[in-house]
Amino acid sequence: MSSSNSHSGKITVFMVDRNAFFRQGVRVTLSGRQDIEVLGESDVAEDAFELIQMTVPQVVLVDVTPPAFSGIDLTRRVVQTLQDTKVAVMTPYLNEDEIVMATTAGASAYLSRYITASELLRSIERVANGELLLVDTLLAKPHLLERVLRCFRDLSLKGRAADPVNAPITDRETEILSYVARGFGNKQIAHALNISEQTIKNHMTSILRKLDASDRTHAVVMAMQSGWISTTERYEPGQMRNA
């Protein structure tokens, strides 16, 4: 199996979109960058997963334009199967149901198909760096947080049960989640806290276990709902929550 780390440090991308003209436009935009490489593309979400497994890109751009909700299923499969591959879903218009589905599927970003080339490039860079752009979307629409959390809870009923109250996260873990909520990737958090990236990964594993969270976005949403991270103003790293 190929590795996304074997492409000379480039950000590797795979596109899944039914519109050939749109794919061509994105490909032309990305080809102008020396630090980005398009590994492949597909017009059918159902056929894309095997190709994505073979190429292991860092970022997958997925069309979720109705009726292409199979893109949500693809997002979930990619996130659950390929730990180092991030997904950015793309849609022509803002749809709250799509935001909820994309978030619970594990997408890192919810992007408009009408964003500028520079905005797309910057979004790909941020997603590849491990940033959760969807958190910004949720913060802009706080009423969606409860919907997202309710969906996560429903999904949790199918898996193991855990009680976050009996397994509270530590102040350090709360601080790390505050960075995640602000869009920081593991490497950026490690630099800000002057600790190793592996330590951040270890903390994230502990956070997900304690909260019975399916991914980073789920953990951030739970922290917001629990009041550990404010939904009206960003939690300032270095300020510890009360025990």
Domain regions of the chain by residue span: 4-128, 143-225
The pLDDT value recorded for residue 56 is 96
Burial group, residue 13, by CB count within 10 angstroms (0-12, 13-18, 19+): buried
- Alpha helices, H only, the chain: 20-31, 45-55, 70-81, 96-105, 117-128, 133-140, 143-156, 171-181, 186-193, 197-211, 216-225
Q: Give, in words, the CATH class of 143-225.
A: mainly alpha
- CATH no., domain 4-128: 3.40.50.2300
How confident is the model over 187-217, as pLDDT tens digits? 889 999 999 999 998 999 899 888 888 788 8
Name the more confident of 241 and 118.
Answer: 118
The answer, as to whether pTM is greater than 0.85, is: no
Average pLDDT value for the chain? 82
Burial of 100 (0-12, 13-18, 19+ CB in 10 A): middle
Sheet of 109-112: strands edge to edge?
Answer: 36-42, 11-16, 59-63, 86-91, 109-112
Would you tell me how many other CB atoms lie within 10 Å of the CB of residue 232? 7
Classify 201 as helix, strand or coil. helix
Q: Is 81 exposed, middle or buried (0-12, 13-18, 19+ CB in 10 A)?
A: exposed
**174 in Cβ contact with 241 (< 8 Å):** yes
**Percent of the residues in the chain that have a pLDDT greater than 90, as a whole number:** 41
With tokens 């199979």, the residue in question is: 70
* pLDDT at residue 68, rounded to an integer: 53
Average of per-residue pLDDT across 150-163: 58
pLDDT in tens, 169-192: 888 998 898 888 887 888 889 999
